[in-house]
Amino acid sequence: MTINMREEDAILLECLEDVYYTFEMALKKAQKVRSIHVQRFERILEELRSERRVFEDISFPARLIVEQLLESQFKVGQVALEAEYLKQSFTAVTYVKVVEFGIICVKLGELEISWRDGNYSYYLYPDKVELRATDEKSSIKLFFSISFNRQTLERFPEILTSPNVVYIHPQLEEWIRKV
């Protein structure tokens, strides 16, 4: 029996909720303690909030990008960046998080960049994405050493009808459509 992505999302969200509320209760107990560990617990709780926001607060195209960045982080891939006057050559992904209001923060090496999901359109290519501000005044290009793969793309059929997606490379579109 296979489960679809939305069922997977529900399971993952339920697990995150369980961990979050358990950890939140533990943190309330720990507040009585004067220790640096309490601050570390607070940071872990914030990381759990970020994980929930990946499922709840951002569009499917943004989520695909976040998952690709996480894939690069955990499979020792690298990402390069071009944005306005900034250029970052291929480097490790230090972290990826989603904060309030659908703002995605990514740290590549020593450089941190962020964008608000609702304010950008997405152009998807096999080994890069371009994010263009809706006012067309700025753009961000992310280049991946690990290209998008078929299994990941097949989990995101909503991208084909997403108003945020302006362009999908034909190969990626075939994989999403499972051709």
The string of pLDDT tens digits covering residues 1-55 is 455 667 888 899 899 999 999 988 888 888 888 888 888 888 888 988 888 999 8
Instruction: Note whether 109 and 92 are within 8 A (CB).
Output: yes
pLDDT of residue 130: 97
pLDDT of residue 107: 95
Long-range pairs for 84-92 at CB < 8 Å and ≥24 separation? Answer: 84/138, 84/139, 86/111, 86/113, 90/143, 90/145
pLDDT digits (tens, 9 = 90+) for 146-170: 999 998 898 899 999 999 999 999 9
- pLDDT over 70 at 176, yes or no: yes
3-state secondary structure of 109: coil
| Average pLDDT of every residue of the chain | 90
The CATH number of domain 60-176, selected from 2.60.40, 3.40.1570, 1.10.10, 3.30.70: 3.40.1570
Q: Which two tokens stand for residue 52?
A: 């929930």
Instruction: State the pTM of this model.
Output: 0.87
Q: Is 168 exposed, middle or buried (0-12, 13-18, 19+ CB in 10 A)?
A: buried
The Cα-based distances of 82 to 62, 79, 140, 155 in angstroms read 17, 10, 6, 27
**In terms of DSSP bridges, do strands 79-83 and 165-168 run parallel, antiparallel, or are they unpaired?**
unpaired
pLDDT of residue 37: 85
- pLDDT over 70 at 86, yes or no: yes
pLDDT of residue 5: 65
Domain-by-domain residue ranges, the chain? 5-56, 60-176
Instruction: Note whether 59 and 114 are within 8 A (CB).
Output: no
